[in-house]
Structure 1
Amino acid sequence: MSVDPPPGGVAVHRKRRAGAPAGFFACEAAGLRWLAAASGAPVVEVLDVGVDHLDLVRLAPVRPDVAAAHAFGEALARTHAAGAPAFGAPPDGWDGDGWFGPLDAPLRMAAGRYDAWGPFLADCRIVPVAGALRRAGLTTPDDDAAFDRLAGLLRDGRWDDDEPPARLHGDLWQGNVVWTAQGATLIDPAAHGGHRETDLAMLVLFGLPHLEEVLAAYDAARPLRRGWRHRSGLHQLYPVAVHALLFGGGYVAQTRRLLHAAAGS
């Protein structure tokens, strides 16, 4: 919803949910401020936060163009380069787990402090979502075995590299990128320390206007390791699995395809 501005004030957009999980909006506010502190991609400004609401500057969308996409790719590279204390670390100003998913049905997203990305992904993303899918009756015994196998591969460092923890938006689909006169502006994060390929894999998963220009500008500013697109499915598994939990349908089959490809089955 939108809130009329006070005389001489800025226009306000209010996110509100009665009965939101304790700390939900405080966590989001901390994530927005942490991303903004990177001096990279523009981030919507936090005006006020309460137990059942978050007040933000109301954004005025414009049509995206190639120049804005190029600038966003460069800026996102700077955001990631600002770093995080560890893989799984929550944003400054928040201590504890976060949330992932829509405002009316967010799922708890475990925080942690890991020296390597693989064990973090296994313990804080893959194992919890695998258990949730199993309890919901959405997996087969073969799926459960593949989740176990994938978690083992991650803990063994199969995909680890020398990348330091990046400062991630964490839910970077096109609906959370608002094109404005000030540039592509980030909203609604699930911010944490993670692998920078995760944000890029989310953009690839759900699409973005002028995506190839964004990715090319990012790679020119901070070159990506060879084969990052091939690894995108591994990064996409968690968000697609959450969609399977929330919405079912084709997301269940998509989760299964990503899972078995990553687990080598």
Structure 2
Amino acid sequence: MTDNLFVKRPADPEAAAAEIQGLRWLAEAGKDFVVAVPPDIDGADGVVATVRLGRCAPTAGQARRAGELLAVMHRAGAEAFGSPPAPGGVTWRGRTFIGRLPQQCVPTADWGEFYVTQRVMPFAEQAHARGNLDTRGLAVVETACAAVAGADFSAVPVSRIHGDLWAGNLLFTPDGPKVIDPAAHGGHAETDLGMLALFGAPFFNDIIDGYRSVTPLDPDWADFTALHQLHPLAVHATTHGPGYAGELVEAARRTLAVIG
């Protein structure tokens, strides 16, 4: 390893290869937007090595550019909702992760079914099992998920999404905005936007303006932001304790208000 590489070793060795596959798949849709992985790195040794990035202060111009590049990446598409990364057309067959936690990536025709069964409920149930989400809160999440599973998302295109796009995974560098640490899969484009909104990306409105310059958003898209925040909030309720349980339940209630 050389000084120009950033190196990390995930707790689960398989997560290294999964992350590299995700980075390479996203880079096929926008190499200028994704941190580069040297060609000889495959993660088989449990190590992730990426080109070290410089940092600079966020600006409205870089945020707008990030929105443009994110929209281009989304438009590259994927095989199905829940499809795992497939760089070079070769589908990743190993486990997939968000942070340290494994999560499913099973191709599914319906986005609502995928989102409920592979993203929200597995982590809500883990949060409940750990004592971080009480039974009454879990019931609210279950009700919201039933509404999502029964809703019509047939018009939603399959997008190539980052999948863990909180503010810390969008870096502002002298070479432009870059994304790192994906949980890449075929999903709903607004899921990435919802996570950026949840964890306070700088110049968020400029990101949205840049995004809209490439891909229009429905006039009421922001009404559904809470729906797309159910997954990251359920993950955080699992990993970070009961402090996130209230936010998860409130997001479920807001979801029911627009879908239920």
How far apart, CA to CA, are the structure 2 residues paired with 1:263 and 1:96? Answer: 34
Q: Which runs of 4+ in 1 moved over 4 A?
A: none
Deviation (angstroms), 1:244: 1.5
1:178 aligned residue: 171
User: More displaced, 175-184 or 36-45?
Assistant: 36-45
- Aligned pair 1:167/2:183, yes or no? no
Deviation (angstroms), 1:188: 0.3
What CA deviation, in whole Å up to 9, does each residue of 1:110-167 have, x standing for no partner?
A: 11111121000111012211221221123333323223322322222x2514121100
1:74 aligned residue: 68
Q: Which amino acid aligns with 1:179?
A: F
Residue correspondences, number: 251
How far apart, CA to CA, are the structure 2 residues paired with 1:252 and 1:148? Answer: 14
What CA deviation, in whole Å up to 9, does each residue of 1:235-256 have, x standing for no partner?
A: 1011012111111243121112
- Aligned pair 1:23/2:14, yes or no? yes
* Distance change (3 Å), C-alpha of 1:15 and 1:35: same
The aligned runs of 1:1-265 (5 Å cut-off) are 3-5=1-3, 11-17=4-10, 20-39=11-30, 42-47=33-38, 48=41, 49-92=43-86, 93-101=91-99, 106-156=100-150, 158=151, 160-264=153-257
Deviation (angstroms), 1:169: 0.4
- TM-score normalised to the size of structure 1? 0.88
What CA deviation, in whole Å up to 9, does each residue of 1:48-107 have, x standing for no partner?
A: 223321111111112222222221111111000000100011101412431112xxxx11
How far apart, CA to CA, are the structure 2 residues paired with 1:166 and 1:110? Answer: 17
- TM-score normalised to the size of structure 2? 0.90
How far apart, CA to CA, are the structure 2 residues paired with 1:250 and 1:221? Answer: 37
- Please state which structure has a larger fraction of its residues in helix: 2
Q: SS state of the match for residue 230, structure 1?
A: helix
Q: SS state of the match for residue 102, structure 2?
A: strand
| Structure 2, unpaired ranges of 5+ | none
Q: Which amino acid aligns with 1:98?
A: T
Q: Which amino acid aligns with 1:59?
A: L
User: More displaced, 145-154 or 66-75?
Assistant: 145-154
Deviation (angstroms), 1:230: 1.0
Contact 2:15/2:95 (<8 A) preserved: no
What CA deviation, in whole Å up to 9, does each residue of 1:189-231 have, x standing for no partner?
A: 0000100000001111111222111101111210011211110
Q: Which amino acid aligns with 2:15?
A: F
1:8 aligned residue: none
Q: SS state of the match for residue 231, structure 1?
A: helix
How far apart, CA to CA, are the structure 1 residues paired with 2:140 and 2:32? Answer: 37
| Structure 1, unpaired ranges of 5+ | 6-10
